Structure 1
Amino acid sequence: MLGNAMEWYDFGIYAYMAVTIGHVFFPSGNDTAQVLSSFATFAAAFVVRPLGGFFFGPLGDRIGRKKVLATTMLMMAGGTLSIGLIPSYSTIGFAAPTLLVLFRMVQGFSAGGEYGGASTFIAEYAPDRRRGFYGSYLEFGTLIGYISAASLVTLLTALLDDNQMEGWGWRIPFLLAAPIGIVGLYLRLRLEESPAFTKVLEAQAASGAKSDGAGEGGSGGNADGKANGRSGGGSDGTPDKNPEAGSFREFRRIFTEQRTPMILCIALVAAYNINDYMLLSYMPTYLSDTLDYDETHGLLQIVVVMVVLLALIHPLGGLTDRIGRRPVIIGGCAGFIVLPLPCFALIQAGGLVTIFLGLMILGLVLVCFLATMSAALPALFPTEVRSGALSVSFNISVSAFGGTTPFVAEALVSGTGNDYMPAFYMMLAAAVGIVAAWKMDETASKPLMGSPPSVATEEEARELVAASNP
């Protein structure tokens, strides 16, 4: 959770400083063009996220989740720190936005391995009956990262004038990435590999010893129950004889075997991320740039909304272990179909109370996704391809829909003159999500596909044995 918080602190800074970054790194003369250019650069990081998912996801299935999580932390911190060191457009001209795009792409490549690796790691460690509760810690960490980033930007905006902020103040949050990255790396290097993945390695090693790396079985299995022994194994239990590793052929094989769950994952992630980025990343800019609301007040209200969500995410995650993930996800999608228009009407009415009420209602719907996705998505895939299949499908969806949300929303508002366009976009995403949620299988309290049951206590183990041997 703490590692994830530090990762998304780095990633969230840019979203909350989009207007200032537009002024620093792009030619002056048109405020709207500067903001759009800034959001286009924000989206650039998401263009390479599928490549990061394609690289880090299957890598996590081969060398382990722990090493991948440590690597993504280093890359994210390095990319963020580098942004803080770039000279402005007035100093080096077009080299400034060029370097900005480059380091944003480093961030995006890193983030491509973050969610899939982290959610897989937690899902494989959690007991079956409490996967929803423990999975909610991942998004708890995401919110902590965003809150830290937004709070620091809010403080700087309140203390510094526009000239100070654009001159040097904007660099402070980015430069803090270095010490934060060191702490995050220390935490992640202390992790132990997940038991479910360890069992897959042991099975592959045993299979490789019997058939010279071309094993036929083990505890890991794909969706139709057949073991995947393609990786073979070395004497240390690490798969090392897969000629397809990291290739397009490997991706094609994963997609062929996992086509349906990957499509469901893409649809669910689109619904989740469009609404998440709309509320937590784009709304401060919408309030200040479109509605001429005070930028500091807008950020502060988003921070308060996220703090409230922190208090709700664990109880709701635990509730999904009892009532299931599907009802909560379907409820969240239904809320985003019905509520965006009235909430945007409240926001556009102006005034501290009405704006906060509109944001808070949307936040209470969003928590239905925050509390469930980290447990629901990994359970769609079998253990031996979970990291790869989840990382690829998740990042394809985030790249196409989530990361482009601020840019699309700003372009829709600017192009149509209709301030309600973000609400319509949220409703469309939710309609897609509700169909996917309806078609997904319920996985609450069940063992992960391709893994043995996981329990938290001896009492649970006895109950499980008794149930299987009536």
Structure 2
Amino acid sequence: MDIPRSASSARLVTRHELTLIVASSFGALLEWYDFYIYAALAGTFSTLFFPSGNETTAFLTSLATFGAGFLVRPLGALFFGRLGDRIGRKYTFMATIVLMGMATVGVGLLPPFTKIGMLAPLLLVVLRLLQGFALGGETGGAATYLAEHSPAHRRGFYTSSLQTTATLGLLTSIAVVSASRALMDSAAFQEWGWRVPFLVSLILLLISVYLRTRLAESPTFQAMKHAGTLSKSQISESFGKWENLKYVLIMLFSTASGVGVVFGTGHFYTMYFLQNTLKVAPNTVNLYLSMALIGVFPFYLFFGWLSDRIGRKWIMMSACLLLMLTTQPIFHALTHYANPELEAFQQSSPVVVHADDCRFSLFGAPKSECDRIRALLTASGVSYQQVPLQAGQTTATTIGGLTVHGADQQALEHALLAAGWVQHADPERINAPMVVFLMWLLIMYLAMIYGPMAAFMVELFPARIRYTSLSLPFHVGSGWFGGMLPFVVSAMAVAKGNVYFGLWYPVVVAGISLIVGVAFVPETCHRDISK
């Protein structure tokens, strides 16, 4: 049933509503901050918690550990979703924030690999899994709670405040990490300063718990509890009945997977691409990303507001279409504006690896000459072609007009430098406004799909199983498709020898999301969510 808009739609947010928004959003901000500190420190963690010897392998392993937290989110969604539909929204997402905070502080107390060996990465993975498990219950709980307190004609606008918290969490994590780096030298940061952002989380946790203790239970849940209409089997009712399961599947393969790849591309992969492929200084990348995040911030609220007026579906589908069409051009343009010397090198000096002993392995040190050559080229941000040896040839690398036999690292680096390759992007030649604009554009796509999405998810499912039903597809789609995106894209680039090849992953997923969304996603704007 659609609820018509009233003349009161233009009224200001009341103090009570503002308290609900702030308390719900601050807790969500903390959880995203906790989850994203790792993203800002992935490069540092690759040297602290994993064996040395192969820079590319250590970095990919670090990204896989980052992605592990996303993989477990659906389990948290099932566990906490069931609790939320059974004992209430408020108490459930109070539990998620405490678990997240404890796991985050635990990461800040971990000894490095040099002290406890393989136990270090093992404990890191366990704590990342706990973080992901907690986050699996947060998004659905906060979205359900706030939407059930919101006026129908302003539901998109109110819940879009929650969607800003992912951006604010990432922005806060970048700010705290950057401030920690700035206040000490690199040796001190590497030794102990990296712990500071994790330990700061304890202060934010105490504030969040205090704010959430002041919240009342959702009126929709209270009404169901008093009427005795709570579901007795949330999981089977959510996923065992086709009338609900079909919407779970539609959401999973449209908006959830779409938001996942938009999120992973704009928030994370641009950062890794600029740092590790284009060799832009980490602090510079953090500055650019922060500027883009700040520039996009009001648009989450704008698209949430707009979805209350023109509907949610086509705004979200437009984001998938834009990502599908522009991802490859945007990343090629990032190379042009961030490291034009690298672009010129790749155009004038094609790199060809002549070898037969190439074995693509994500984990473990490179063993063959080909493996060592490809690891060095990948770490250098260089695309290459690998061809089989001809009769009588030995393993060699052709760089422009130069040929290097064998896998001597120093000889390869000299040949790269002689052909015009640069070890670091020249700050004087970076077109900062264009780099920031391109990053802003990718994050703008996220605002388009993410701003209206909380309201859309809540409106899609019945109240008695809402927390469970929306949490699982959201975290499978955004967590698995998006959380593993930096790892998958990086691994595809390494396997192919082309720094842009992995970007076909978000393009294809966004295309599938668009097709499914256009064909099957219903318009949910202003639905009655009390039943």
TM range, smaller chain: 0.7 to 0.9
Aligned to 1:235: none
Deviations 1:226-262 (A, max 9, x none): xxx574xxxxxxxxxx4x56xx756643x54411110
Contact 2:159–2:454 (8 Å) recurs in 1: yes
The reply to whether residue 21 of structure 1 matches residue 45 of structure 2 is yes
In structure 2, the CA distance between the partners of 1:301 and 1:422, relative to structure 1 (3 Å rule), is farther
- Name the structure 2 match of 1:414: 494
For 1:142, the equivalent position in structure 2 comes to 166
Partner of 2:526: 445
**1:115 aligned residue:** 139
Distance 1:260 1:103 in 2: 34
Q: Which residue of 1 aligns with 2:360?
A: none
Alignment partner of 1:265 is 2:289: no
1:47, CA displacement in angstroms? 2.4
C-alpha deviation, 1:48, in angstroms: 1.8
1:94: Cα distance to partner? 0.6
Query: Does the aligned pair in 2 maintain the 1:25–1:89 contact within 8 Å?
Result: yes
Q: Which moved more, 1:432-441 or 1:151-160?
A: 151-160
- Would the aligned equivalents of 2:251 and 2:521 in 1 still touch at CA under 8 Å? no
How big is the shift at 1:71?
Answer: 0.3
CA distance in 2, matches of 1:125, 1:338: 38
1:213 aligns to what?
A: none
Alpha-carbon distance between aligned partners in 2 of 1:334 and 1:142, rounded to the nearest angstrom: 22
What SS does the corresponding residue of 1:377 show, helix, strand or coil?
Answer: helix
Alignment of 1:76-91 (within 5 A): 76-91=100-115
Asked if 1:202 corresponds to 2:226, the answer is: yes
Pick one of 377, 380, 386 that aligns with 2:460: 380
Deviation string, structure 1 residues 63-85 (Cα, Å, up to 9, x no partner): 00000111000000000000000
2-structure distance, mates of 1:335, 1:287 = 21
* Structure-2 residue corresponding to 1:309: 296
Mapped pair 1:336 → 2:323: yes
Hey, what's the Cα distance between the residues in 2 that align with 1:53 and 1:42?
18
Map 1:171-320 → 2, pairs under 5 A: 171-204=195-228, 229=229, 231=231, 242=232, 244=233, 249=236, 252-253=239-240, 256-267=242-253, 268-320=255-307
Q: TM-score, normalised by structure 1?
A: 0.84
Question: Which of 51, 54, 73 is equivalent to 2:75?
Answer: 51
3-state secondary structure, aligned to 2:289? helix
Of the three residues 508, 513, 516, the one matched with 1:433 is: 513
- Is the partner of 1:28 in helix, strand or coil? coil
* Segment drifting more, 78-87 vs 344-353: 344-353
1:197-227 alpha-carbon deviations (Å, 9 max, x no partner):
22111211xxxxxxxxxxxxxxxxxxxxxxx
On the 8 A contact 1:285/1:295 being kept in 2, the answer is no
For these two proteins, the number of residue pairs brought into alignment is 412
Amino acid at match of 1:402: G
After superposition, the Cα gap between the structure-2 partners of 1:330 and 1:406, relative to the gap in structure 1 and judged at 3 Å, is same
What is the root-mean-square deviation of aligned Cα atoms in Å? 1.7
Contact persistence 1:336–1:430 (CA under 8 A) = yes
Contact residue 346 and residue 357 of structure 1 kept, 8 A: no
C-alpha distance after superposition, 1:123-152 (max 9, x if no partner): 111111111100100011222111100111
Which protein has the larger Cα radius of gyration, Structure 1 or Structure 2? 2
Alignment partner, residue 456 of structure 1: none
5+ residue gaps, structure 1: 205-228, 232-241, 452-470
Alignment of 1:326-405 (within 5 A): 326-349=313-336, 350=338, 351=430, 352-405=432-485
1:11-37 Cα deviation digits (max 9, x unpaired):
110111101011100011111111111
Cα distance change, pair 260–347 in 1 and its aligned pair in 2 (3 A): same
Output one character per residue of 1:323-349: Cα deviation in whole Å (capped at 9) or x when no partner: 110121121111112111221121011
Report the secondary structure of 2:192's partner residue. Answer: helix
Q: For structure 1, which segment, 98-107 or 154-163, has the greater mean C-alpha deviation from structure 2 after superposition?
A: 154-163
* Bigger shift: residues 293-302 or 161-170: 161-170
Q: Give the partner amino acid of 2:528.
A: P
Percent identity, aligned pairs only?
Answer: 34
